[in-house]
Amino acid sequence: MSQYHLGEFEEVVLLTVGILYGEAYGIAIIDEMEKRLHRRVSIGALQTVLRRLENKGLLDSILGDATSIRGGKRKRYFSLTQNGQRVLNDAKDQRLALWKAIPKIAFK
């Protein structure tokens, strides 16, 4: 089991990067998160987490194409590393284990 404990927002960012596979850059990640989770995400909050996850080795990034709407600036595409996948799997297993441990009577 990995030692890095994901925060809730970090986990959502990693999952969204996985969903967008190959197309995960700043604005696309924000749009996907806002569409699926119905919550506002600021560029500042997202970029801080993306950098932190990249420094931790959970994400990789490469610079892609530039467009005129971006003022000629290139996009930075993020992808999950093996470590990132492992951490996500661990988080999923932990949550599933907790869900399974809830007795049925608790939801009546």
Partner 1 sequence: MNQPENDKPPYKVLAFFRWFCHPDYREDIEGDLLEQFHGRVIRKGLRKAKFLFIKDVLLLFRPGIIRGMQSRAQQKIMNMKKVHWIKLVALNLLIVLMILSPFIPGPSNKAVKLFSVAGQLMGLMGLFLVPIGLAWTIIEIRRFEKAVDNEANHKFHYQLANTAILLIAVIFIMAVVFVPNPMPKSTFLFGLILQVAAFILARKRIKKRENTDQRVPDQGALVILASSATACIVLIYFFYLLFVFFTAGIIPAMLGIVLLPAGLFWAIRQIGKLKLPYERKFNSVPLYLVTIPLIAFLTFKFMMEPISNFSRDFAIKKSEALIASIEDHKSRTGEYPKSLQDLYAYSLKKIPKPFIMGIGDFRYNKINEYYSLSFSQWLHVGSLEEIVLYDKNNLKNSLTGEFAKYDYSFDLWRVKGAFASHDTKYDNWRYYHCD
Closest CA to 16 of 34, 1, 4: 34
In the complex, which residues of this chain contact partner 1 (CB under 8 A)?
A: 25-27, 30, 42-45, 47-48, 51-52, 55, 63, 66-67, 69-71, 73-76
The SS3 of residue 61 is: strand
CB of 64 to partner 1, least distance (A): 9
Q: What are the Cα distances from residue 1, in Å, to 21, 88, 100?
A: 24, 11, 19
Q: What is the dihedral of CA 11, 75, 54, 78, to 10 degrees?
A: 50
Nearer to partner 1, 51 or 95 (CB): 51
Nearer to partner 1, 65 or 103 (CB): 65
CB of 105 to partner 1, least distance (A): 36
Nearer to partner 1, 57 or 95 (CB): 57
